[in-house]
Structure formats: structure tokens, C-alpha cells
Amino acid sequence: MSTESIEEFKIEVRSFIEANLAPELRVGNRKDLPKKQLGKWIQALGARGWITPEWPKEYGGGGLDRKHAAAMKGEFKAVRAPMVSSFGTSMLGPTLLQFGTDEQKLEFLPAISKHEVKWCQGYSEPGAGSDLASLQTRAVLEGDEYVVTGQKIWTTGADKADWIFCLVRTDPEASKHDGISFILFPMHQDGVEVSPLNLIDGTAEFSQVFFDGARAQAKHVVGPVNGGWTVAKRLLQHERSTDGGSEGGLSGAQKESYVDVVKREVGLENGVLADPVLRQRLAAQEQEAKALSLTMRRAGEEARAGQTARDIGSLGKFKWANMVKSEQDIVMLAHGTQGLGWEGPGFEQTELERTRAWLTTRADSIWGGTNEIQMNVIAKRVLQIPE
């Protein structure tokens, strides 16, 4: 826990930025950041514990309180420093802090906090998407290991991941929610096959993963055996809170905010946006963003206070998904036909990237729980509407 005043701490953060953040990186989260400079920045953050600033120092975190962590993030945002986040830091790590054994925390959290291990999420299956508890991937105990057989799909980054946190059925005779365990195991082993899936935007960030005798150590079950559904739901709350707390922004190699793009493409008249319809859309979008930010701050306070019964994260995910899609719709309207290029002459590279960014956001209301599922959760757990 830091004893410095906030202003003293901000000066420390600015000094750290000047010493470690290359000018080429001061452009936000872009896909074309120079790898060498980015690697040095990540290494410096990890050594300071600032990839996971609020985690305890014994697990590689910064040991900061919420106010100092917020001040740090504010300084990073002011210079458009790339933020380092992953499935490990935003989803698995917080879940391990709550449900993991001391041995599991010491084994996995320090590497996560230094961004040294890449994780992927083994949840959805071809027959278990929105109805996740219907999953059929099996794990059978043999000695001190589980043998895993089955299939996962829509697994982001599986082709690059070192480890997977995976939901498996360990008791096929139990009710579908009661026979599930949450287990960790390496991806680079016999019995794991990864097949990337081509997406509408031309990328292949998702994969289908096949398990045929993959091995997982029994000591790497997180939470009780057959009690993984509770762990899985808590992780989803972390995921949805992270998504809902995101600030949006154009995907891909973009230096400008969506507001900057619209202003440039449409132009200003007497200091205001020339197109009154887009001007109204931008104003409404900014109001929604502010409301979402305040709501997710409240969700964070409830989570810190241990109030997890109301899943406000689902509300955040629902609103965020719609807002990101709307944001990209506004950009496409500002570009007109120049926002619909795919390849060939007549389009700049940035215009082609925006087309793909727009297509990418069509999936935001599907992954992490569809909008329909989020509305059900909001009705039951936030609004507490009786069935």
C-alpha cells in the first residue's frame, strides 16, 4: 500500500514514463506497435508490478490502493501509453486471487503479472454456447492427473497460448451445473490440437481446440472438484466488468479517436460539426459513455466490497457492446462509400482497416455472452424481476 500522496505518486509515474516509454508507443493500443520497444515497456511495467497495480506484491503486483492505481492509469492515458492487459490479468488472475490455493497463486500469478505466460479461455463448445452448462468436454482422474477429451470453440488466441483455463465435466452423472470443474493445463502437449477459424474481418483470432488425451494435474483444479460452475461465473463477472469498463476506440492501427475521424471527414462549420445528424449521434454517444463509466465505477466498488450478487458486469457488457457497434457505425457514416472498401485501388490503407474494424464489432454483442443472455442476467440478478 503506497504512503505517498497522489500528487507525489503522479510525479513518480511521469518520471517512469519518461525513462521507459518510447515516443513510438505514445499512440494508444494499436496493432502495429514496434515489438522491440513494446517488449521493453512491458518488461519495465512488469518489474514495477504495474501491469497488475492492485495485486499484492508477493504475487508480482504493485500493491497499490485504488486511488493510486487510478492515478497511474490516468498518467498513462494522458500520454496514450499502450495498456497491457490479457486473459491472465483481467480474468484468470482475479479469479485465482479469490478461489486459488496459496500454491496456485504463487505458481501462476507472478508470471501473469509480468506478462510472461499467454492464456486462453476454454468455455464454449459447439453444443454449449449460450447454454454453457451443457458442456461435454470430459476430464477423467487417473492418479494425480486428469485426462481431458473433448472440444472447445471460439477460443481467442488459442494458437498463441501457453496455458488454458478450461471448464470440464468431471462427474457426468451429476446435474449439468454440479458436475463441472475449473482446471488449468498447458496447451503445448500431446493431445491438444488447435485449428484457427477465419472471421468476417479477415483475421483468425478465434480457434477451435480439440483435446484427445490431454493431461492436467489434479492440483491445478481451481476451487472444489465438481464446483467449477461457481468459479466460472465469477470469472465471467470479471470478464464482463472489464468489457463494460473499456473505453472503446477504433480497432486496428489507428492514431485517432472516432471523434477525431468524424470531425476530419465531415468538417466543422463555425466550430461545430457540419452534419447535424452526426453531431446529435456524437453527443448521444458521449452521454452513453459517461453513464457507462459511472455505472462501471459503481460495479467496481461493489466488487471490492464483496457484493457480487448483482451482476452489474452484464449490464456493462451489454451497453459496451452496443456502444462499440454504434461508434463504428458513426465512423462509417462519416466516411460514406470510402468506409466500405475491402481491397484494391481507390482506398487508403486506413480506410481498409476501418472497414475491418466495423466488421469486427459485429461480434461484440455475441462473444462473452450474447446480448440476449446479458439481458436475461440483468433482469434476474440486477433488476431482480421474478420469473
Radius of gyration for the chain, computed over Cα atoms and rounded to the nearest angstrom: 22
Which DSSP symbol is given to 127? Answer: T
Q: Coil, strand or helix: which one is 361? A: helix
Question: How many Å from the N-terminal Cα to the C-terminal Cα in the chain?
Answer: 44
CB count, 10 Å around CB of 277?
A: 11
How do 180-186 and 221-222 pair as beta strands? antiparallel
CA 334 to chain centre: 28
Please list, residue by residue across 128-159, b when 16 or more beta carbons sit within 10 angstroms of its beta carbon and e when fewer do.
bbeebbebebbbeeeeebbbbbbbbbbbebbb
Is 302 catalytic? The answer is no
Residue 45 CA to residue 25 CA, distance in Å, equals 14
Residue 346 CA to residue 118 CA, distance in Å, equals 39
The CA-CA-CA angle for residues 122, 127, 133, to 5°, reads 65
Catalytic residue among 54, 75, 239, 353: 239
Contact status, residue 191 vs residue 228, Cβ threshold 8 Å = no
Residue 332 CA to residue 341 CA, distance in Å, equals 11
CB count, 10 Å around CB of 313?
A: 30
H or E segment to which residue 102 belongs: helix 102-113
**What is the Cβ-side half-sphere exposure of residue 224, based on CA atoms within 13 angstroms?**
7
The closest alpha carbon to 223, from 101, 88, 135, 92, belongs to: 101
Residue 40 CA to residue 313 CA, distance in Å, equals 33
Known catalytic residues are 239
